[in-house]
């Protein structure tokens, strides 16, 4: 089967708009005979006369009328694809961006992002979704525009990533907790009752591995799926929770935070996006906003 000639779509669109071979030929800067040959090819391809004689003019067949709107839309879409990219006018940008973020991101960075969007692009809306896994499918299928988090094995090889900041785990307890007084040693830290934060419900993690290296074990009395719930529990009890420092800055207000007395590697928080959005001016602007918001908080802290 021969490949379709997509130039015929433009020809059909003009013929249906003009209702005349001669006028269509002038509009496309072709000779009347060339336009007649193109119409013959269209008739053969569709198995329909498309335009039939009515007096001095041509009128569309029912099949041509059925195709007219669809053909016009295809031609306009094709022209848009081939048109040079326009300069982004943020004042006229009307778009909803969906960001999938780790817990604590909205509380710490959301206010600056929303304020900047409101100033520079008032027609933009930011939709924040909770990150429940590291699957790249939502980036790949366009469900989300941008993601933040730690790059992991679940991230597709084609996904683009840029580091935003480094973070470390710290311990947090309520004000007045016994650990808020005196030196915090590995033994004192391990002796307390702990909250484990795990999206998958695991009761063991890197902290337990680090404690084992110094011959210690902590007692995990409850497991929760997010930092907000863990900090709420710690705020109203004697439980200890360990969370990323920068991601939970606003969530830890009026609580006592301390450096962990064990060695844990820092984590790198990045933003991730799909390559098809790499050159999209609006997405590039969004990435700049996220990058600046994270840098501003680092400068303010």
Instruction: Give mean pLDDT, residues 234-238.
Output: 96
In the chain, the domains with their CATH numbers are 7-82 (1.10.10.10), 90-167+268-300 (3.40.190.10), 169-265 (3.40.190.10)
Find the range with the poorest average confidence among 22-31, 54-63, 265-274.
Answer: 54-63
DSSP-derived pairing of the beta strands 146-149 and 95-101: parallel
On the question of pLDDT at 265 being above 60, the answer is yes
On the question of pLDDT at 1 being above 70, the answer is no
For 57-77, the pLDDT digits (tens) are 788 888 888 888 888 888 888
Instruction: Give mean pLDDT, residues 269-285.
Output: 91
For 164-219, the pLDDT digits (tens) are 999 999 999 999 999 999 999 999 999 999 999 988 888 788 999 999 999 999 99
On the question of pLDDT at 299 being above 60, the answer is no
Q: Which helix (H) or strand (E) holds 298?
A: helix 281-300
Instruction: Give mean pLDDT, residues 137-146.
Output: 88
Instruction: Give mean pLDDT, residues 32-44.
Output: 88
On the question of pLDDT at 300 being above 60, the answer is no
Which tokens sit at 12? 């059909």
- By percentage, how much of the chain surpasses pLDDT 70? 95
Write down the pLDDT at residue 301.
53
């Amino acid at each position: 089967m021969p490949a379709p000639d997509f130039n015929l779509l433009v020809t059909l669109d003009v013929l249906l708009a003009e209702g005349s071979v001669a006028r269509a030929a002038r509009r496309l800067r072709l000779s009347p005979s060339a336009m007649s040959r193109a119409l013959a090819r269209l008739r053969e391809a569709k198995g329909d006369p498309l335009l039939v004689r009515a007096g001095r003019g041509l009128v569309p067949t029912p099949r041509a009328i059925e195709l007219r709107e669809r053909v016009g839309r295809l031609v306009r879409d094709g022209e848009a694809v081939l048109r040079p990219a326009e300069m982004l006018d943020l004042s006229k940008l009307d778009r909803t961006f969906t960001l999938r973020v780790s817990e604590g991101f909205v509380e710490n960075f959301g206010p600056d992002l929303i304020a900047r969007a409101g100033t520079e692009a008032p027609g933009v809306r930011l939709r924040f979704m909770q990150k429940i896994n590291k699957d790249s499918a939502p980036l790949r299928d366009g469900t989300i525009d941008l993601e933040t988090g730690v790059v992991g094995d679940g991230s597709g090889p084609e996904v683009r990533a840029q580091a935003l900041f480094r973070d470390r785990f710290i311990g947090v307890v309520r004000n007045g907790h016994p650990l808020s007084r005196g030196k915090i040693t590995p033994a004192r830290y391990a002796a307390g009752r702990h909250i484990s934060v795990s999206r998958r419900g695991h009761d063991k993690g890197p902290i337990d591995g680090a404690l084992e290296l110094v011959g210690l074990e902590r007692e995990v009395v409850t497991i929760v799926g997010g930092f907000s719930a863990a900090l709420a529990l710690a705020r109203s009890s004697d439980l200890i929770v360990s969370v990323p420092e920068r991601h939970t800055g606003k969530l830890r207000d009026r609580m006592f935070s301390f450096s962990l007395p064990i060695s844990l590697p820092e984590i790198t928080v990045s933003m991730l996006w799909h390559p098809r959005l790499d050159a999209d001016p609006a997405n590039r602007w969004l990435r700049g906003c996220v990058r600046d918001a994270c840098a501003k908080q680092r400068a303010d802290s």
